[in-house]
Amino acid sequence: MTDTIAENTELAERDANEKYHGLTYAEIDKLGAELDELRLRVIADLGEPDAEYLRKVVKAQRSFEIAGRALFYLPPAWPLAVASLSVSKILDNMEIGHNVMHGQYDWMGDPAFNSRQFDWDTMAPAENWKYGHNYMHHTYTNIVGKDRDVGYGILRMDEDQKWNPYYLGNPLWAFLLMTFFEWGVALHDLETEEVFAGRRKMFGGENAPVWRRIRKKMGKQVLKDYVLFPALTGPFFLSTLAGNFTANIVRNIWTFNIIFCGHFPAGVATFTEEETENESRGQWYLRQMLGSANITGSKLMHVMSGNLSHQIEHHLFPDIPARRYPEMAVEVQEICERYGLPYNKGPLHTQLFSVFRKIVRLSFPGGTSKAAPVRGPQAVTDDSLAA
Amino acid sequence: MSALISEPAALPTRAVGARIASPLGPLLRSRLVGALASPHGIDRYLERFNPMWAAHDVRARIVSVHRETDGDAPVATLTLQPTSTWRGHQAGQHVLVGVEIPGVAKRYTRAFSISSAASGKGERFTLTIRAHDEGQVSSYLVREAQAGQVLHLSQAQGEFTLVESPATPTISRLVFITGGSGITPAMSMIRTLLRDGYQRNGVAHAGRKVTFLHFARSAEDQIFADELAEIAAADNGIDVHLRYGDQVFSEFELRRLVADYKDTDTWLCGPPGLVELVKAAYDESPRLRMEFFKPSVARAARPGEEIEGDIAFTRSGKTIAASGASILEQAEEAGLTPEFGCRMGICFSCTRTKTAGTVRNILTGEESAVPDEEVRICVTAAAGDCHIDL
């Protein structure tokens, strides 16, 4: 009873001038409508070129993979084999796997590119990952305490995460996570922080099916990369094994770096559970924009990052084929300018350095990483906003 | 001799690709290759080189397209060379055909009856398809498909096959009653009987008495007309009775043709009206086997019209009146607990199959009546009657 009254008073007090992350609620609704309009426009335009692009990338990935596996028979070509296999794994995980498993290509009706059927060449089983990523991370992006990708339950990546001496190892933990990223991503779905808090069993209870899937997938990946393919090359067993291991590590390092540049550079905002309760579609869009950062670079760099270099657009439109993000970015950036919203972007080295600084700084108590200010659309006349 | 009659004889030739692939098949399907190609599967690599190479998937190349009838709803027979993975079919079975329709880049899958005689592993077979106005796939296959194109297939499926009652001696009489396109599976059975029967004076004989009663809209609309005329004329044990236009099925006529029809193995395939009449005449006789045409359950609400219809949850057997709310909300209202995640259309946790009917995407307003379509039920509402796999 009291709660209802309090809520009503709160709503009544939400007057025209009240602001949420620098915008009035009316402005946020308008922002949401503009982004919805952009979304519908691109969805209506999906077709042959998108399908053709995906098939082309898949064909390239399969070619790199076959070439990589075959070149291990030719010992002097070892570096080439590793490079080829690394490229194959990166394409498989990023531009193909991540995006297909988001349902970006479900509309094609091709079972080979269906989000319910696809699995990728990495340790994390598709079903576990889709729950933790598509649902938890993409719905509750950057809500500290709800989005398990804020620090992955291992690192302190936000000043609102309470410090304890364990975090002195922040840089070391980050380095280890980077090197063995595919193992980390797979184990992430066991929600170990819940296990340590005593709220669930590591391998039993609700974790039992999750763990069973992880074991099965890890078994298959290990068998393939560290037993069967090395054995097939006979006398070159060890060099093939080392090559496969190296390719997996190269992919780990690359994907870790791209992903950490998506939400952790300086200026990216985080949110509290309270402020995001009952949020509107516009507020959700706003949170995705303020909570993500882009990497600028060449076309090759966008392809190799699965277009996650357009993390802002990916978080606004996670189910739209990623190849559309570059063209959407032009409009999103223009919208940000009009609303006086920060649009966090920078070249890879700048974003990486920013992330690195945060990892080191937050290994100590306190922290200063503040979100970039929202100027709001004051600078713009009401007329142009209404247009 | 018409081209159609001579066609079955030419069918069991295998393509070179199929012959090369067969000794490799067991190796490609081995656990070792499965482990090496994990998680994508060996077919995802084979298709990179040739769409007709497959270890598990079934695909087929269109060998030829033969137009049977013209008019508003033309009919064509497609001769298909399947991959070596095709396990063959029994007369009367159908196959799911997946087609990527150019321009929209979407694959649509529909079931079609096989019209040629029973096939063996990797052997050619034919589909005889009528182009329906509302059927994108049938229309495309009849009007636009070209020899050389590759289609995606399932294995042959369906229980409506040429299997007789255990008590029936193999020489006893058979009856086929068909209407419209329902002639296709019966044609496969007749062709099988003639092929597998015996030769008498150089003419194929079914080896038993067969009564074939078929109802069609008009003589011009009659598919397999030439072949049916030849079958009717030849001394082959098969009696053909064609009925056009207003002539409807009557028990009296059937009794005149086959006095003990209730104790005779009978195959029935046709539109709902014909099926009802024949079913009544057979009075629950176990000798009657039938196959329906899927009646179209979809009745879409027109734009602006009030939603009227039911959502049927086919797994749980529950039904609820469509209200315009999301199917997820309506399922929960009906007491079901489907899996869900974000409830805003981004995470795909709640994806289910809409087996039939029309739905509207709440975010885009787009309506769709495609059967067996995957929908995110949190952002999809019924736009008329629909069936959801829940």
Q: What are the tens digits of pLDDT across the range A58-110?
A: 999 999 999 999 999 999 999 999 999 999 999 999 999 999 999 999 999 89
Find the radius of gyration of the CA atoms of chain B: 23
Lowest mean pLDDT among A287-296, B275-284, B292-301: B292-301
Are A261 and A355 a contacting pair, CB within 8 Å?
Answer: yes
Lowest mean pLDDT among A13-27, A297-311, B92-106, B327-341: A13-27
What's the pLDDT at A369? 59
**What are the beta bridge partners of residue B374?**
B353
Residue contact A110–B341, C-beta within 8 A: no
pLDDT (mean) for B317-323: 92
* Residue A90 burial class via C-beta count within 10 angstroms: exposed 0-12, middle 13-18, buried 19 and up: buried
Residue contact B348–A103, C-beta within 8 A: yes
Instruction: For chain A, positions 147-206, list CB contacts with chain B under 8 A.
Output: none
Distance to chain A for B135, nearest Cα, Å: 17
Q: Does position A241 have pLDDT exceeding 80, yes or no?
A: yes
Q: Is the ipTM of this complex over 0.90?
A: no
* Model confidence band, residue A378 (pLDDT cutoffs 50, 70, 90): low
Residue contact B348–A43, C-beta within 8 A: no
Q: What is the C-alpha separation between B277 and B254, in angstroms, rounded? A: 11
Which of B98, B105, B108 shows the shortest C-beta gap to A48? B105
Q: What would the pLDDT profile of A130-181 be if each residue is shown by its tens digit?
A: 999 999 999 999 999 899 898 888 999 998 899 999 999 999 999 999 999 9
DSSP-derived secondary structure for B194-208: HHHSEEETTEEE-SS
Residue contact B363–A36, C-beta within 8 A: yes
Lowest mean pLDDT among A39-48, B145-154, B192-201: B192-201
What's the pLDDT at B170? 74
Mean pLDDT across chain A: 92
Q: What is the C-alpha separation between A329 and A38, in angstroms, rounded? A: 11
Q: What would the pLDDT profile of A167-198 be if each residue is shown by its tens digit?
A: 999 999 999 999 999 999 999 999 988 888 88
Share of chain B above pLDDT 90, in %: 61
Q: What would the pLDDT profile of B123-133 be if each residue is shown by its tens digit?
A: 999 999 998 76
Residue contact B39–A121, C-beta within 8 A: yes
Which of A109, A224, A228 shows the shortest C-beta gap to B107? A109
Higher pLDDT, A378 or A315: A315
* Chain A to chain B Cβ contacts (< 8 Å): 99
Are A349 and A332 a contacting pair, CB within 8 Å?
Answer: no
What's the pLDDT at A374? 84
Higher pLDDT, A277 or A248: A248
Lowest mean pLDDT among A200-204, B30-34, B251-255: A200-204
Does the CB of B31 have a partner CB in chain A at under 8 Å? no
Which of B36, B45, B342 shows the shortest C-beta gap to A139? B342
pLDDT (mean) for A314-328: 97
Strand ranges across the sheet with B174-179: B238-244, B210-216, B174-179, B265-270, B288-292
Q: Quick one: closest CA in B to A54, which residue?
A: B105
Q: Quick one: closest CA in B to A231, which residue?
A: B36
Distance to chain B for A110, nearest Cα, Å: 6
Q: Quick one: closest CA in B to A219, which residue?
A: B35
* DSSP designation for A95: I
pLDDT (mean) for B262-280: 93
| Residue of A110, A206, A213 to mutate, interface with B, max B Cβ within 10 Å | A110
Distance to chain A for B349, nearest Cα, Å: 7
What's the pLDDT at B22? 58
pLDDT (mean) for A285-299: 96
Residues in chain B within 8 Å Cβ distance of A103: 348, 351, 376
Q: What would the pLDDT profile of B194-226 be if each residue is shown by its tens digit?
A: 998 888 888 899 988 999 999 998 888 888 999
Task: Provide CB contacts within 8 A for B374, sequence distance 6+.
Answer: A106, A114, A116, B351, B352, B353, B354
Q: What is the C-alpha separation between A81 and A86, in angstroms, rounded? A: 8
Does the CB of A244 have a partner CB in chain B at under 8 Å? no
Q: Does position A383 have pLDDT exceeding 60, yes or no?
A: no
Residue contact B45–A62, C-beta within 8 A: yes
Residue B235 in 3-state DSSP? Answer: coil
Q: Does position B10 have pLDDT exceeding 80, yes or no?
A: no
Are B273 and B251 a contacting pair, CB within 8 Å?
Answer: no
Mean pLDDT across chain B: 87
